[in-house]
Structure 1
Amino acid sequence: MPYAFTAVDVAFLRSAVGQAAVAACAELPLTPASRIADVTAARSAAGERFAAVLETVLLRRKAESKLDSAGGWLFTGDALQQASATAVARHRAARLAGRDVHDVTCSVGADLVELAAVAARCAGSDLDPVRLAMAAHNCAEAGVAPALVRADALAPVSRDTVVVADPARRDSAGRRTWRPADFAPPLDGLAEAYAGRPLAVKCAPGLDFRETAPWADEVELVSLDGQVREACLWTGELATARRRASVLRSGGTGWTLTDAEPDDVPVADVGQWIVDPDGAVVRAGLVRHYGARHGLWQLDERIAYLTGDTPPPGVRAFRVLDHGPYREKSLRATLRAHDVGSLEILVRGVDVDPDALRRRLKPRGATPATVVLTRVGRSPMAYLCRAELKDYFSTSI
């Protein structure tokens, strides 16, 4: 069970004594084997607040891979888990630069600090007084000063602002939920409470937004370093397309693609390369648009793999070495002919368990390779490839 911070804990952690206690415990191992020694050291530094100090040290360590410059921040476990990575939060905030913005579910402030850095005026609100106190501390650490107020996200307390929301995706028992009606606050409740106002709502990327949020004017899927992190629903004047994919890199570079671009691509035989588009592109339904941008074509109009003779930069592409109809016996012979040992198997549109197939194939050669299994028309096909990482874009969004 995660530690349940109290308002008294937060006041202590924000005090000079509390900050000294956290600093004194910052280098503790915090492993199962060191637990007794860690607790003893924390009790010596923080007295009865030792658990809050240890949890803070642990959460700050976890935050290092997700948030920039958050070494002095305060978190709850759930708040850190749901917080957007800094690159993603900064990307979303950039679309709201110069506006008056109200983050109605500000939690501990991970999004709020990025919004406050670029907004004309900025406010944050939350029902949880503990998280609100943490947000005040974190904003001060980040050098921003948005207005903060305790309020229910479904009871508007601001006017004439863009509204930003990040509903909690856990039910009343604390279990993760995929039902938008169980979000806190529910998606439809937010849309109703702020009808007629520009709204940006962060969501998990796996939802069917046509069914769960038909009121959204734009659905944006965002990936970071190849992993799809989240979706954002935009309404009113904030929406500039129906569907958007934003592909970000930790270094601050990236690119974006919308359904306003052409999507006229042919379906033809495999070229010299196979390209598996970024997950944000696939989930946004923009595979054809991506292919048209980069002169690629489809192997099959219902499959997300693309092919061509020149892969785009910034992607892991697969140079085709051999290909043919997929039969396990003939694939085994192809692997032997190419001296394949280490084998990656990618599957799309074919009912094959890659791990089970790899065990059956038993490749024993010296050369690493990738097999792409997919369907072309009604026929399962196998493509033996060598993976290569092309140079990243240096273009900022």
Structure 2
Amino acid sequence: MGYSFTLGDVAHLRSGAGEAALAEVAARPLTDHIADVAAVRRVVGEERAAAVLETVLLRRKAVGKLSGVDWLFTSDALQQASASLVARHRASRLAGLDVHDVTCSVGADLVEIARVAKRALGSDVDPVRLAMARHNGVSAGVSFGLAQADALRPVSRSGVVVADPARRDSAGRRAWKPADFTPPLDGLVEAYPGRPLSVKCAPGLDFAIAPWADEVELVSLDGQVRESCLWRGLGTGVTRRASVLRSDGTQWTVTDAEPDDLPARAPGEWIVDPDGAVVRAGLVRHYAARHGLWQLDERIAYLTGDTPPPGVRAFRVLEQGPYSEKALKAVLKRHDVGRLEILIRGLDVDPDALRRRLKPRGSAEASVVLTRIGRAPVAFVCRAERV
């Protein structure tokens, strides 16, 4: 859970003396906990040493995730905060609107909202996090209103309501039931009848528990599914959306408003493993139709075709056939494979255990895709390429 900051800590960290202490401690390698604590106490004094040290360590953890290099966090707030690129994407859908972030915490989402919204308001029950949010807004050069309030007791009358319910209890255990979120998901929806909603959730959420949502969006960043977002009242005409983001600034989206008619054909020259956001959103067929691909099997997410989509890591098929360990071992030996990547869908096979049994010893590198077509297990020996 980390150190429990106080309002006095936040005031000190925002002062000239606090900034100087943070800069001095940040210049240290901080590789020996006992020695580091003693050194920081000598630099800043006993009273503020823990707050300064924790802030420096949290800022280092935030590098690559959040854009604010001199922001203030709590450990829990940093863990739950959306990556800045993900928060920016979600905020872009709220451009020009009045927006109230009812669980604003330290303001990671609120900063991005304030960049594009007509008016932005943040509220939270924790005065320490609100003080941190105020600092982070100033640091980011944006302005927004702040209020100390329970998310289930509205303090705004109009505009889009944004929420990111906490999904861990006070002991740090993950909450799986929406009724155990803080605030509870149903309670949050009931508190804002008729208001447009944007509620961030874990990507593994069972979306059937949110029948009020007009749209479910899955978002990935650099190949990792980061979150789902439940939307209500923005009139997109879409019920499922997958948004794929990259750190280089490129991004694309596929929705269930697109066609999903696919040909039934034999495996092509390439195999494509769609981004996890596409798979989780149930949009594999829509993505395939967009790029002229088709499925190896209608129940398996692997796609195939003769030309892979641009910008993806795809697998050029070198050889294929019915799967058995004996046959696969012979194929790998024939291709002189020693470095082996194994991808599996639809079969109960442990890739690490299989690799140990195959004992590849050649000089070449290959990827093996194991799946099934109908009821038949199939092995594809491939070369992975970035196209």
TM-score range with shorter-chain normalisation? over 0.9
| Aligned residue number for residue 220 of structure 1 | 217
1:168 partner SS: coil
Alignment of 1:259-338 (within 5 A): 259-338=256-335
Match of 1:199 in 2: 197
2:369 is paired with a residue whose SS is: strand
- AA in 1 matched with 2:26: A
**Post-superposition CA distance 1:347-384 (Å, at most 9, x none):** 00000000000000000000110000001000010000
The two structures have a TM-score, normalised by structure 1, of: 0.96
Secondary structure of the structure 2 residue equivalent to 1:341: strand
Partner of 2:84: 86
The equivalent of 1:61 in structure 2 is: 60
Partner of 1:16: 16
Q: How far 1:237 moved relative to its partner?
A: 2.1
Residue 330 of structure 1 deviates from its aligned partner by 0.4
The 3-state SS of whatever aligns with 1:311 is: coil
Cα deviation, residue 238, structure 1: 4.9
Distance in 1, Cα, partners of 2:383 & 2:180: 45
AA of the residue aligned to 2:222:
D
**Cα deviations across residues 262-283 of structure 1 (Å, max 9, x unaligned)?**
0001232110000000000000
Tell me: CA distance 1:105–1:238, structure 2 relative to 1, closer, same or farther (3 Å): farther
Structural mapping, 1:1-397, within 5 Å: 1-31=1-31, 34-47=32-45, 48-68=47-67, 70-210=68-208, 212-390=209-387
Q: Quick one: which amino acid aligns to residue 115 of structure 2?
A: A
1:93, CA displacement in angstroms? 0.5
Name the CA distance, whole Å, in 1 between partners of 2:266 and 2:348.
Answer: 22
Secondary structure of 1:54's counterpart equals helix
Q: Distance between the aligned counterparts of 2:294 and 2:33, measured in 1?
A: 56
* SS in structure 2 of the partner of residue 352 of structure 1: coil
Is 1:151–1:157's contact at 8 Å kept on the other side of the alignment?
yes
Deviation at 1:235, TM superposition (A): 0.2
Q: Compute the displacement of 1:171 (Å).
A: 2.1
Distance (whole Å) between structure 1 residues aligned to residue 234 and residue 33 of structure 2: 53
TM-score, with normalisation over the residues of structure 2? 0.98
Deviations along 1:306-356, one digit per CA (max 9) or x if unpaired, are 000000012110000000010110000000001000000000000000000
3-state DSSP of counterpart to 1:260 = coil
For 1:121, the aligned partner's letter is R
Report the Cα offset of residue 35 of structure 1. Answer: 2.1
State the distance in 1 between where 2:226 and 2:331 align: 37
Post-superposition shift, 1:28? 1.7
Question: Given residue 23 of structure 2, which amino acid in structure 1 is its aligned partner?
Answer: A
Consecutive unaligned residues of structure 1, counting only runs of 5 or more, are 391-397
C-alpha RMSD over aligned residues: 1.0
AA at the equivalent of 1:203: C
Gaps of 5+ in 2: none
More divergent stretch after superposition (276-285 vs 45-54)? 45-54
Counterpart-to-counterpart distance in 1, 2:384 and 2:199: 37
The residue identity in structure 2 corresponding to 1:164 is: V
One-letter amino acid of the counterpart of residue 79, structure 1: A
Aligned residue pairs: how many?
386
Aligned partner of 1:101: which letter? V
How many angstroms does 1:45 deviate by? 2.2
- Higher deviation after alignment, 378-387 or 173-182: 173-182
Tell me the alpha carbon deviations over residues 229-284 of structure 1, each in whole angstroms, 9 at most, x when there is no partner.
10110001254410000000112211000000000012321100000000000000
What amino acid does structure 2 have at the position aligned with 1:53? V
Q: Following the alignment from structure 1 to structure 2, what is the Cα–Cα distance between the partners of residues 161 and 206? A: 28
| 8 Å contact from structure 1 (residues 199, 238) kept in 2 | no
Work out whether residues 79 and 108 of structure 1, in 8 Å CA contact, stay in contact via their aligned partners in 2: yes
Contact 1:198 1:238 in 2 (8 A): no
For the residues of structure 2 that align with 1:268 and 1:180, how far apart are their CA atoms? 42
Secondary structure of 2:320's counterpart equals strand
**Aligned-partner Cα distance in 2 for 1:348–1:52:** 47
Amino acid at match of 2:212: W
Alpha-carbon distance between aligned partners in 1 of 2:112 and 2:2, rounded to the nearest angstrom: 27
In 1, the alpha carbon distance for the partners of 2:283 and 2:230 equals 16
**TM-aligned CA distance change 1:178 to 1:238, over 3 Å:** farther
Of all paired residues, the percent bearing the same amino acid is: 75
